[in-house]
Amino acid sequence: MNHVHRVIFDNGHAVVVKRAPPHVAAAPDIALSAGRAELEAQALRAVGGGPIPALVDIHQHTLILEDIGDGPHLGEWLVADGDPAMLDRLARWLRQLHDSDGPGFVNHDIQQTRLAVQYRPVGDWLAERGLADAHDIGQQAISVGRRLARGGPDFVMGDLWPPSVQVRADRPHGFVVLDWEMATAGHRAQDIGHLCAHLALDQVAIGHDRGWVDRFLHAYGPLPAPTLRLSAGHQGCEMLARTIGAFPRQDLASQAGPIVDHAVGLLRSADRPLALPA
């Protein structure tokens, strides 16, 4: 999303410099407000500590952040047989975040971009594959995106996928959560569905269901049915975006058919986030 550099000074001290261009850095055709850097700074201040990088300074859409060093991200950790108890700790922390006071803003630019890139095209993606009810599924996806774009009462991290969670045994929580430019006062269903989608996709990539989705949801705790339905809808949209949509994962190309079928099932029923069978 951004241009990110590690800057090492003569004394060995290092910081991370993160500049937000007026578009997605890896996809310049997708416009995105550079003001997301200022919102990320506000979100980090609102979290007020915990498993996040310290904000050193901000200047002209450029953040200077604590360099937390190198380490595997959550997906790499789990795939390499790291202790899945990391999911328990992440789920409990996330519940506390969601239940805390919000960041103080609705991130309208990010949510409208997500509506345009992640939800609104679903019907077209499915129509290209010849799905008979592509239009109806597409309308369901748009409905999910519009509900999430309106904002809500929860402190939502906004980009909770495995690469945003760096495993660090030397930190109190055992992990650090990076990249808060998509934070918003919204609906926790977006964070939950996003992470569930990627945990499920990582299991497809390795060809084995290790129960990561169910473990995370159990550790997070009970959720009302409407939240689970909204979460399932977002999960389906994210899976489609990562297979036949805007951000396809090449390692999943051979499994696109079963993934699409499962994602469509989630959008049809919007029942609850489910682990995708390997």
Strands 62-66, 175-177: pairing is unpaired
| 152 part of a folded domain | yes
pLDDT, tens digit only, all 278 positions of the chain: 999 999 999 999 999 999 999 999 988 998 899 999 999 999 999 998 899 999 999 999 999 999 999 889 999 999 999 999 999 999 999 999 999 998 999 999 999 999 999 999 999 999 999 999 999 999 999 999 999 999 999 999 999 999 999 999 889 999 999 999 999 999 999 999 999 999 999 999 999 999 999 999 999 999 998 899 999 999 999 999 999 999 999 999 999 999 999 999 999 876 344 444 33
| 174 part of a folded domain | yes
CB 221 within 8 A of CB 106: no
| 212 part of a folded domain | yes
Q: Dihedral sign, CA of 161, 163, 169, 175?
A: negative
* Per-residue model confidence (pLDDT) at position 275: 42
Number of domains in the chain: 1
| 42 part of a folded domain | no
Domain hosting 78: range is 69-269
Name 73's Cβ contacts closer than 8 Å, sequence gap at least 6: 162, 163, 164, 165, 166, 167
- Assigned token pair, 53: 């990088």
| 56 part of a folded domain | no
* Per-residue model confidence (pLDDT) at position 48: 87
C-alpha–C-alpha distance, residues 35 and 259, integer Å: 35
Residue 214 has a CB neighbour count (10 Å cut-off) of: 16
C-alpha–C-alpha distance, residues 221 and 95, integer Å: 8
CB 26 within 8 A of CB 2: no
| 176 part of a folded domain | yes
CB crowding 160-198: b at 16 or more within 10 Å, else e: bbbebbbbbeebeebbbbbbbbbbbbbbbbbbbbbbbbb
Q: In which element (H, E) is residue 186 found? A: strand 184-186
Predicted TM-score of the model (pTM): 0.93
| 52 part of a folded domain | no
- Assigned token pair, 239: 């899976």
| 47 part of a folded domain | no
Which one-letter DSSP state was computed for residue 252? Answer: G
Residue 37 has a CB neighbour count (10 Å cut-off) of: 21
* Per-residue model confidence (pLDDT) at position 270: 64
Classify 183 as helix, strand or coil.
coil
Can you give the CATH number for the domain in which 126 is found? 3.90.1200.10
* Per-residue model confidence (pLDDT) at position 44: 97
The radius of gyration of the chain's CA atoms, rounded to the nearest angstrom, is 18
Quote the distance between the C-alpha of residue 47 and its chain's center: 17
Q: Dihedral sign, CA of 145, 165, 100, 1?
A: negative
